[in-house]
């Protein structure tokens, strides 16, 4: 068997190429929109791509099944419960796809979504039992999927409980390759490891610890994590007609007056000089795609500002991965607007002078320790513009270590506020300097 895992670090998504060594026939499972990586791997391995398999309709990234179908004539298979509007072959529970000695067997595992399936992979040259299983958005390394993105959370959690029990029955020695690793919003406690085994997860994964469906449902349905940004639009794109390759946007001399502007240069360059109205999200930072999707609206065209063409190309590829397709062009170089950065050691004095501190972390992060007097507004909610903020004093943003604070400050500055960012250090550096924080304590704790 030929097996390759692809991990998108910007989203925490994993996809797979599986082929039979004898027949040289290959499938791609859960492809990303950037399909070039699969074509290059197929050429390198000297295999022929013959089909695309989807574990489910994805909610956090745009699938590449449309490009593979339109550009390379590949058929697509998905469970019939998906109700997919694109041309597809239904693959139901127990159905098999043979590549030769290598066979992929469909295991219907609803919970995350009603149509969700896993694919047990059998290599007949090794034996008749599955060697590995592609678990999509069901079983992760150290965690299990969210049940609240497609249906009622409690209904989804009950389905997920029974699906996980089916996976455990495959046997402790079966290797597990999930559809997500740490960084994805489809699970809370997943590891950054790319694979595991059924036995390891059965022993250490909290989601497999209980045989009580009521307890599992209560815990799993109580998730407070934010939903993937752009979720409804991404689901609609992945459910609807095939989405093909997008035209390459042109270079522009300046951003048009009515465009959204995302500046993907490093923070230092953005702070030194950016175009009016620009939001700064460095493409070199972690989780660029998710962060950008949280702060970019779908109501008007987008212009990318970058240092060079390589940077703009990388940013546009990552933006398309989360369904942001209306990109009218890119601009190289910054503008005349600046952003003031505040060092942690300066923060006390800035606050004494009357600035308001906004903690832009998620609530569960803030509850673990925050600076007294700060106001909690997650950066992704600042982007919605629904929060009233004072205009008579500076607004200073802070997060765990700096990146989200800088994004938040750029959002506020674009809306005319006197915004500044604690962009190097944040709460972590505040604690390391011996400064006090307040912990949120629930009643009875």
Domains of the chain: 2-234 (3.60.15.10), 246-332 (3.40.250.10), 340-432 (3.40.250.10)
pLDDT of residue 185: 58
pLDDT at 442 over 60: no
Please, where are the H alpha helices in 58-114? 65-72
Cβ neighbours around 384 below 10 Å, total = 12
Cβ neighbours around 437 below 10 Å, total = 14
In terms of C-beta density within 10 A (0-12 exposed, 13-18 middle, 19 or more buried), how is residue 30 classed? buried
pLDDT of residue 163: 96
Q: How confident is the model at residue 138 (pLDDT cuts 50, 70, 90)?
A: very high
What percentage of the chain exceeds 90 in pLDDT? Answer: 82
Q: If you ran DSSP here, which 8-state letter would residue 199 be given? A: H
Render the burial of 153-165: b for 16+ CB within 10 Å, e for the rest. bebbbbbbbebbe
pLDDT, average across residues 114-140: 95
Are 61 and 31 in contact, with CB atoms under 8 Å apart? no
184-229 pLDDT, tens per residue? 555 556 567 889 999 999 999 999 988 999 988 988 877 667 777 8
pLDDT of residue 159: 95
pLDDT at 183 over 60: no
Are 418 and 395 in contact, with CB atoms under 8 Å apart? yes
pLDDT at 157 over 80: yes
pLDDT, average across residues 42-64: 97
Token pair recorded at residue 99: 């590549």
Are 69 and 50 in contact, with CB atoms under 8 Å apart? no
CA distance 230 to 236: 10
Cβ neighbours around 352 below 10 Å, total = 8
The HSE-up count of residue 60 (CA atoms within 13 Å, CB side) is: 28
Nearest to 226, CA basis, from 59, 32, 390, 86: 59
Q: If you ran DSSP here, which 8-state letter would residue 251 be given? A: B
342-399 pLDDT, tens per residue? 999 999 999 999 999 999 999 989 999 999 999 999 999 998 887 889 999 999 999 9
Torsion of CA 329, 330, 335, 341, to 10 degrees: 120
pLDDT of residue 297: 83
* pTM: predicted TM-score of the whole model, two decimal places: 0.91
233-290 pLDDT, tens per residue? 999 999 999 999 999 999 999 999 888 999 999 999 999 999 999 999 999 988 999 9
Are 283 and 9 in contact, with CB atoms under 8 Å apart? no
pLDDT of residue 189: 60
Token pair recorded at residue 292: 């950008």
pLDDT of residue 223: 64
What percentage of the chain exceeds 70 in pLDDT? Answer: 96
Q: If you ran DSSP here, which 8-state letter would residue 178 be given? A: E
Q: How confident is the model at residue 126 (pLDDT cuts 50, 70, 90)?
A: confident
pLDDT, average across residues 147-161: 90
Measure Cα distances from 238 to 28, 35, 54 in Å.
16, 15, 10
pLDDT of residue 184: 52
CA distance 166 to 150: 21
- Strand spans (E) along 109-203: 117-123, 130-136, 175-178, 196-197
Angle between helices 309-320 and 288-295 (to 10 degrees): 70
pLDDT of residue 445: 41
Token pair recorded at residue 369: 């320790």
The HSE-up count of residue 277 (CA atoms within 13 Å, CB side) is: 12
- 146 compared with 223, residue with greater pLDDT: 146
pLDDT, average across residues 41-63: 97
Are 358 and 269 in contact, with CB atoms under 8 Å apart? no
Average pLDDT over all residues of the chain: 93
Distance of CA 358 to the CA centre of its chain: 25
pLDDT at 341 over 80: yes
First to last CA, the chain: 53
Nearest to 286, CA basis, from 12, 7, 5: 12
Render the burial of 36-72: b for 16+ CB within 10 Å, e for the rest. ebbeebbeeeebebbbbbbbbbbbbbbbbbbbbbeee
pLDDT of residue 286: 87
Strands 117-123 and 102-108: antiparallel
């Amino acid at each position: 068997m030929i097996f390759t895992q692809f991990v998108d670090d910007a989203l925490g998504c994993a996809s797979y190429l599986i082929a039979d060594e004898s027949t040289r026939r290959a499938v791609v499972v859960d492809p990303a929109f950037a399909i070039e990586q699969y074509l290059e791997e197929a050429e390198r391995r000297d295999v022929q791509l013959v089909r695309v398999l989807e574990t489910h309709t994805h909610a956090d990234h745009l699938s590449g099944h449309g490009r593979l179908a339109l550009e390379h004539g590949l058929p697509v298979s998905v469970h019939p419960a998906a109700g997919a509007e694109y041309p597809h072959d239904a693959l139901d529970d127990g159905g098999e796809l043979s590549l030769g000695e290598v066979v992929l067997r469909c295991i219907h595992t609803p919970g995350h979504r009603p149509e969700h399936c896993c694919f047990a992979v059998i290599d007949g040259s090794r034996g008749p039992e599955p060697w590995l299983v592609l678990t999509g958005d069901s079983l992760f390394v150290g965690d299990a999927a969210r049940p609240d993105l497609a249906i009622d959370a409690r209904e989804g959690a009950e389905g997920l409980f029974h699906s996980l029990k089916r996976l455990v029955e495959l046997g402790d020695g079966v290797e597990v390759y999930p559809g997500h690793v740490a960084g994805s919003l489809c699970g809370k406690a997943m590891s950054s490891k790319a694979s595991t085994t059924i036995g390891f997860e059965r022993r250490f994964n909290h989601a497999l610890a209980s045989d009580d469906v009521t307890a599992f449902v209560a815990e799993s349905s109580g998730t407070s994590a934010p939903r993937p940004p752009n979720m409804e639009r991404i689901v609609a794109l992945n459910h609807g007609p095939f989405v093909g390759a997008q035209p390459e946007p042109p270079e522009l001399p300046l951003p048009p007056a009515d465009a959204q502007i995302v500046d993907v240069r490093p923070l230092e360059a953005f702070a030194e000089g950016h175009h009016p109205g620009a939001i700064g999200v460095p493409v070199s930072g972690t989780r660029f795609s998710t962060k950008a999707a949280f702060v970019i609206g779908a109501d008007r065209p987008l212009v990318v500002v970058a240092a060079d063409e390589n940077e703009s190309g990388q940013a546009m590829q990552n933006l398309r991965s989360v369904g942001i397709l209306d990109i009218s062009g890119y601009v190289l170089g910054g503008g005349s607007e600046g952003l003031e950065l505040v060092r942690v050691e300066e923060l006390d004095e800035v606050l004494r002078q009357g600035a308001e501190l906004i903690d832009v972390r998620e609530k569960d992060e803030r509850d673990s320790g925050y600076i007294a007097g700060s106001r909690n507004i997650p950066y992704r909610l600042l982007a919605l513009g629904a929060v009233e903020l004072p205009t008579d004093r500076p607004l200073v943003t802070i997060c765990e270590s700096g990146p989200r604070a800088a994004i938040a400050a750029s959002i506020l500055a674009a809306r005319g506020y006197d915004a500044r960012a604690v962009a190097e250090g944040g709460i972590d550096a505040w604690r390391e300097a011996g400064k006090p924080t307040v912990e949120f304590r629930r009643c009875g704790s």
